[in-house]
Structure 1
Amino acid sequence: MMRTHSFLTVLLWSSVFYVVHMTPSQKRTNKHSHSERITGLSENDGKTLHRTKRGWMWNQFFLLEEYTGPDTQYVGKLHTDQDKGDGNLKYILTGDGAGSLFIIDENTGDIHAAKKLDREEKSLYVLRAKAIDRKTGRQVEPESEFIIKIHDINDNEPKFTKDMYTASIPEMSGVGIIKTALPDMNRENREQYQVVIQAKDMGGQMGGLSGTTTVNITLTDVNDNPPRFPQSMEHLIVCSPESAPPGTPLGRIKANDPDVGENAEIEYSISSGDGSDMFDIITDKDTQEGIITVKKHLDFENKVLYTLKVEASNTHPDPRFLQLGPFKDTAFVKISVEDIDEPPVFSRPWYLIEVDEDAKEGSIIGQVVAQDPDIAKNAIKYSVDRHTDLDRIFNIYSGNGSLFLSKPLDREETPWHNITVIATEINNPKQSSQIPVFIRILDINDHAPEFANYYETFVCENAKAGQLIQTVSAIDKDQPPRGHKFFFELVPEFAVHPNFSVVDNKDNTAGIMTRRNGYSRSKTSTYLLPIIIFDNDYPIQSSTGTLTIRVCACDSRGNMQSCSAEALLLPAGLSTGALVAILLCIIILLVLVVLFTALKRQRKKEPLIISKDDVRDNIVTYNDEGGGEEDTQAFDIGTLRNPEAREESKMRRDVIPETIFQIRRTAPLWENIDVQDFIHRRLKENDSDPAAPPYDSLATYAYEGNDSIANSLSSLESLTTEGNQDYDYLSDWGPRFKKLADMYGGEDSDRD
């Protein structure tokens, strides 16, 4: 602890009393004043000089502060030469503190301090004094000003500006204003100190006053301590599963540094060891710990134990303390790898298999191999992920991983197949892995070349022999390794064609040439030229394409004008415009005839019922709901008795008539009395009718046919055929059958 001695010197002034005679003013005129005449000769003139004697007098103008006597403190006395002591004069005091701090005896002029004064509050007072004649009230002397000064005494102890001071100095500091009393003070041992400092005035002599203050001193840190590993961490053992991915934290290691702040920042590194390439260490800036992480994939079967030498060092060393030793420390860390049940591992990251497209079903195309990396070496089974082989073209033997075909291949349809094979441990199905298998289909020459397009060309009637009329090319779905090479020739039957020839251009194209002069449309308007196309791959494939050649009329430049043979039959005198006008007129007439015929047929309506004499059940041919069995007057069923009436040609009223159609004629219905044959005929007619609608329509068959083996469904003869039948059960069917039960339930209901 350090002490600071402050010496405060206090100067005590003793009171000094003066008797002063003052001349208040130059304008003062007093006949009672005494004057002293001083006679002197001047070098310039011989004037006589006079010195006026001062009229005001007072004895004291200094006063001590903090007077504590029993009486008032005597300050001084005012007196003038005009005062004869007869009491005719009156003294008056004005100015700072007059009447309150300072009082005057108006008869004698004595001044006293009425109160205790404090120099620290005010050290100087300015007062004015005057003497007045009591009888006349006039001033006998002009007003004069004087000063009272307060002398200081040691009545205040020294005071510090603050009640408490806070200071900080670096540890290991040298001499200063406040200096350490002990050498090499260490912050790590004690950081806070409190010092009480006393200040005395009067140089510390007896009777002086003193003041104290407190100073809190904090030792700031310097980097004078290196990091150190505790003994428990000098040989640390950490366990890691072999399945831990890179970046996985395995454990923490910490070196202690007594310093604080940036002086305690530590950087960790792996200096050596057989696991330096398998592990890494990073520094946690918040806790100043080293985090050991996995750098590469671990394999228990490859290595079980690793040793690391970890080094911890300060990031901000202080050069002043480097002589204390190296600011770093080391520790050894052993990492033990734990065995984990791992999924099967394939021998390759992916597989590429090539197979000919003509491979037979069931043939093996390749094999994938996987094994259990664990020591147990569990058995593996293989399967194909069917999401990658929806057509189930491939399959695999689950025991050895051999892939084989389940369906034929077609390279032209799918040249590549990408499937996924799954390997699973038999003892632990949860452990599985998958691998992509790329299957490339090798091309086999199984497609014949063919024309690239559908070719149709023409030859002019005035063509010359050897003239090129068309160039043809070919394509092939196959892709031979050396590229396509096609050959063109005529079929053997047309090897020596009298009209055209084929010239192979040796560039996968061929030219069609004329072999004679002139062609006639009237004799042959179209030629069909069959051409054989070969490829050069093995086995050789060929196909025959037919080229259509029309004979056309051309101008002198070879431009086609007309190719139809009918144009030859037209009169030579008619122009093209006239022929177009004639065709338009014919078309308009045909349209008018068709429209007239259609309107006429729509107006013609045939009654559905011809006779009203038949009282049998009617056939309802409209969509309105009828009156049931009791309604026998709604329609006339005479049509059923007269088949000839239905056979007349009538317009269909359930479909829209076409503009052009032919009326069907059918054989008379009375020649066919078989209902089944009748229905089949009607069905056939409607199926073959182009005007018949594809939707459901109403077809009226105006023929009842022969008797049915089920007898009649009519209720007209029920009295004779079903008289003994019991209908009482109808009453049990509910209110819907109440009317029917009333009609048939009674014994005499029908007879009455």
Structure 2
Amino acid sequence: MDYLWIAVVVLWMYLCDQSAAQLSYSVSEEANKGLVVGNIVKDLNLNLQDLDTRDVRIVSTYSKTYFGLNRQTGALFVNERIDREELCPSLAKCSLKIQTVLNNPLNVHRIEISVLDINDNSPRFSDTMHAINISESSIQGDRYLLPVAEDADIGSNALKTYKLSPNEFFSLDVQSGGEHDVSAELVLQKPLDREKQPTLKLVLTAMDGGKPPRTGTTNLVVNVIDVNDNAPTFEKSLYKSSVKENAPVGTVVIKLNATDPDEGVNGQVVYSVVKRGTLDLSNIFQLNPETGEITVKGELDFEETPAFEVRVQAKDFGHSPRSSHTKLLIEIMDVNDNAPEITITSLMTPVKEDAEQGTIVALISISDKDGGNNGVTHCKLLGSVPFKLISNYKNDYSLVVDGSLDREQTPEYNVTITALDEGSPPLSSTRVITVHVSDVNDNAPRFTAPVINVYVKENSPTGSVLCSVKALDADLDNNAKVSYTLVDSRNHRNTPITAAVNINSDTGDIVSLQTFNFEELKTFQFKVQATDSGVPPLSSNVTVNVFILDENDNSPTILAPYSEHGSVNSESIPYSAEAGYFVAKIRAVDADSGYNALLSYHLTEPKGNNLFRIGTSTGEIRTKRRMSDNDLKSHPLVVLVCDNGEPSLSATVSIDVVVVESTADIQTQFRHVPIKEDSFSDLNLYLLIAIVAVSVIFLLSLITLIAVRCHRTESSFSRYSAPMITTHPDGSWSYSKSTQQYDIKPNTLLRAFSYFSDYFNERPH
């Protein structure tokens, strides 16, 4: 609304052609608010009451109300900050024009207020920094125009001169062409060297004429333009770097830096590797030509190449390129990537089992390709073996005997050697050495038993193999090669044993040199010596008991009644003889033994068998019943005496039994009536005792042998030491010792039991 009112007033003033007085005042810019510029009431000859009655107003066309009217005093005062440079930029004279409007009647008075300049603006450069490029090849006296500063103040407060900061290369030439035309030039006083000082920083100061003067500055940056007058330079003539051998591809080894004091292409450096001879490092290292960074490209191996020497060239890109060289020594740092190696330099095997302690078995060398602690090794044996390691020198060791050796118990040893290095983490390796133990003759041949029992049938043909002896020797080769001999001895007839048997020195087969007769020789004994072929030879003996087994080769011999060959014995019995009357007794013997000598008696003639009977075991002939009138007076009897052999042998005797009327007529020449009917004859008693004894011994032996058989573990020797009881398909039992056997069949045992049964049953009670 105020703006609208002002516009109306101004328009109305313009249209009204009436004269108006003009007042002139002056005020300094930046005057404080409230500063009194003048008194309108006094200067317009008004009264203070007119301020209200005529509604006196101050109007202007400015956006800001720079001045105000004090209605109590009529004073015109500064109401807003006045900036001359803002109101009147670039004008030497600056004033504010306002109007005083009075009503009743309407009067307009112009007021022109001159704004006086004060030095409130410093000279100002358009840029705080100004760069000047000067070639280092410039000569003394060359000039370079400097930027001009601006000062918003005028008159004496305006820009007056320039000043340059002290330096040894430039001077300042200030030129003035008028009040607002002051310039300056930079004059080169001394040649420049970009490599020494590529940039010069100067301060250019502009000063006005105020009191005190105000200044403005700008930074002058003098860039010295390079020429290629310097070669790239490395910091060192020799670089040293290290990298681990297990470094992955891309690992930075070192970053070389060659500096060229020139700039631009003159100072732009490119790096390259200088090849030497046939050595090509392009597969191992990679050089960045721009940064000088060397990285790992291939595999590194400390053990193969512990260090590399690389020559690197640095060259600039100047018009006439300049270059320099340096040497790089790359040391490969060892890591523990190699396990110790165990080398057997000498192996003295086999080792004799009687080797003394300290005997060298093998020479061992330990090596580790790594360096430092990674290559320091320690060696030891694993497990319990009769050996030990002795350190000879550094990593050389001797494997020596450290205990007793026994080839028969352990013919070879697998000696495990382990080597461990001191790396982190430590690596180890293991090697197994097979140590063979050679034989010495420290074991005598050994028979399976100290005594060998051999059972031979009589009448065996000459040249029969009685048995084979076998001695085992735990040694090897010649030390275990056994030969057999008979130890000189004599039998019961004081004849050399070599006359009866012979032995095969290689096989141990014992062969008979004669036919044996059980009735003449039942047993004999000799010793066999087994001797090895070692040096010195060792030997041992075994006792061989030869038992002659009886065969049924003798027929029974009838002792009574005695008769000439072809004659018939005669016996008489009374007609009144009762049943069981003793007629005669047949006595017979057999030169054989055992069952072959067990005799039985039988009546072979059927005639008269209904009147007489004979005891099968006693040989006694007795009557079965009383005589009758129908019976014959003479009874010829044939008695068959059989042994129990296989096959059975027999003998016969003929007896004529004559029946007489009275006992007085009985011939008793050949009668042998027993004193006591139930008594045994001496021969039968002996036979019975012998049979019982043999049976008891047989049963005890059978039980013992079965027990021994159950506890035996080496079946290969059973033919010499263990009797055997076998069952044949025909139902018989077989008892064998060594290669000879007793064959006992059930019918034989039944016949023996029958013999005793008949004997006791036939005895009169």
TM-score, reference length from structure 1: 0.31
When normalised by structure 2's length, the TM-score is: 0.31
